[in-house]
Amino acid sequence: MNHPTALIADDEPLLRDALARQLAQAWPELRVVAQARNGREAIEQFEAMAPDICFLDVHMPGISGVEAASRIGRRAHLVFVTAHDQYAVQAFAQGALDYLVKPVEMARLADTVSRLQERRAAALPVTQTDALLRQLAAQLGRAAPPRPLSWIYAQVGQALRLIPADQIDYLRSDTKYTAVAWRDNGQPAEALVRTPLKELLAQLDGDHFVQVHRAVAVNLRAVSHITRGSETATIHLKHRAESLPVSRTFVHQFRQM
């Protein structure tokens, strides 16, 4: 028996893993044969593995999910996964392509799986996508910049947690990870994400999150007060005993003190 196969492309590894686990539950016969971190890898993995179905994140570094889908064409069933692009959701809803909104809900994923299974069982051809993909690319090009992240997905032990951005106190980069210091029901907590500090900071609200050191960014809403040294400063937090260094490079942000 030939099992259906799939590719998952998303620049966030935790989300790729989470979707793979959800698919294993919703469609046990499906084999996820490839995962990709960006559009370029998605195309390479597709050419190498020729999966039946591609789950493509819309926004990925370099080549977007829509561009990758254009390269794949009608050689696979396409399902787009999007976090917050209302333009894309409207376009998908008006077209024949399937889509999922992050965080992916099991009930919605089950609907998608049912449609894919029906298409395969009826041996229906892959949806004609060329015109719709051109429309999507045009709409995404006109779309407003993505909204800042409201949630961060992080691994805490064996669990995947959704951390509200407004509950984060600060971020500190590690060799391979970024440590997220946040409040879980008011109690200090910490989690690790694999996204580099610079990349994560670019996705958060710049009005609240600022870099204060090469390896540290702080949520200004979590700051109690700041004490200045001769060329540096120290940030004290409202809900934590530890303090954060402000290096000479970034101390100008507090020059009005």
Query: Tokens 């965080």 label which residue?
Result: 103
3-state SS, residue 203: helix
How far, in Å, CA of 253 to CA of 257, rounded? 9
What b/e readout covers 161-178, taking b as 16+ CB neighbours within 10 angstroms?
A: bebebebbbbbbbeeebb
Highest mean pLDDT: which of 119-123, 219-223, 247-251? 219-223
Residues with Cβ within 8 Å of residue 248, at least 6 apart in sequence:
231, 232
Residue range 26-39: mean pLDDT, rounded: 94
pLDDT digit string, tens, across residues 170-192: 999 977 788 999 999 889 999 88
83 with 24, same domain: the answer is yes
* CATH code assigned at 180: 2.40.50.1020
28 with 124, same domain: the answer is yes
How far, in Å, CA of 76 to CA of 125, rounded? 9
Q: Are 166 and 173 in contact (CB under 8 A)?
A: no
158 with 126, same domain: the answer is no
Taking phi over 0 as left and psi of -120 to 50 as alpha, with beta for the rest, 192 belongs to beta
How far, in Å, CA of 24 to CA of 220, rounded? 40
More reliable by pLDDT, 40 or 101? 40
Residue 178 host element (H or E):
strand 178-184
How far, in Å, CA of 254 to CA of 227, rounded? 10
Highest mean pLDDT: which of 71-75, 114-118, 150-154? 114-118
Residue 217 has pLDDT above 80, yes or no: yes
3-state SS, residue 191: strand
Query: Tokens 């540290």 label which residue?
Result: 216
Residue 140 has pLDDT above 80, yes or no: no
More reliable by pLDDT, 257 or 147? 147
**Number of domain units in the chain:** 2
77 with 41, same domain: the answer is yes
224 with 130, same domain: the answer is no
205 with 120, same domain: the answer is no
> Which residue among 119, 142, 165 closes a domain?
142
Instruction: Dihedral sign for Cα 100, 58, 68, 144, please.
Output: positive
Residue range 96-104: mean pLDDT, rounded: 77
What ranges in 11-125 are assigned the alpha helix state H?
Answer: 13-26, 39-49, 65-72, 86-94, 106-121
pTM for the model = 0.57
133 with 158, same domain: the answer is no
Q: What is the pLDDT, as a whole number, of residue 144?
A: 54
Residues with Cβ within 8 Å of residue 84, at least 6 apart in sequence:
102, 146, 147
> Which residue among 142, 169, 195 closes a domain?
142
Q: Quick one: CA torsion of 113, 114, 115, 119, rounded to 10 degrees? A: 100
The whole domain housing 228 covers 151-254
Confidence bin at 59 (pLDDT 50/70/90): confident
Residue 209 has pLDDT above 70, yes or no: yes
Residue range 19-34: mean pLDDT, rounded: 95
40 with 86, same domain: the answer is yes
Residues with Cβ within 8 Å of residue 31, at least 6 apart in sequence:
3, 4, 5, 6
103 with 131, same domain: the answer is yes
107 with 171, same domain: the answer is no
Residue 51 has pLDDT above 90, yes or no: yes
Residue range 215-242: mean pLDDT, rounded: 92
Q: What is the pLDDT, as a whole number, of residue 141?
A: 61
125 with 12, same domain: the answer is yes
Residue 224 has pLDDT above 60, yes or no: yes
Q: What is the pLDDT, as a whole number, of residue 130?
A: 66
Q: What is the pLDDT, as a whole number, of residue 5?
A: 96
Q: What is the pLDDT, as a whole number, of residue 237?
A: 95
Residue range 101-119: mean pLDDT, rounded: 88
171 with 227, same domain: the answer is yes
Q: What is the pLDDT, as a whole number, of residue 85?
A: 57
Confidence bin at 73 (pLDDT 50/70/90): confident
Q: What is the pLDDT, as a whole number, of residue 170?
A: 96
Q: What is the pLDDT, as a whole number, of residue 201?
A: 87
* CATH code assigned at 34: 3.40.50.2300
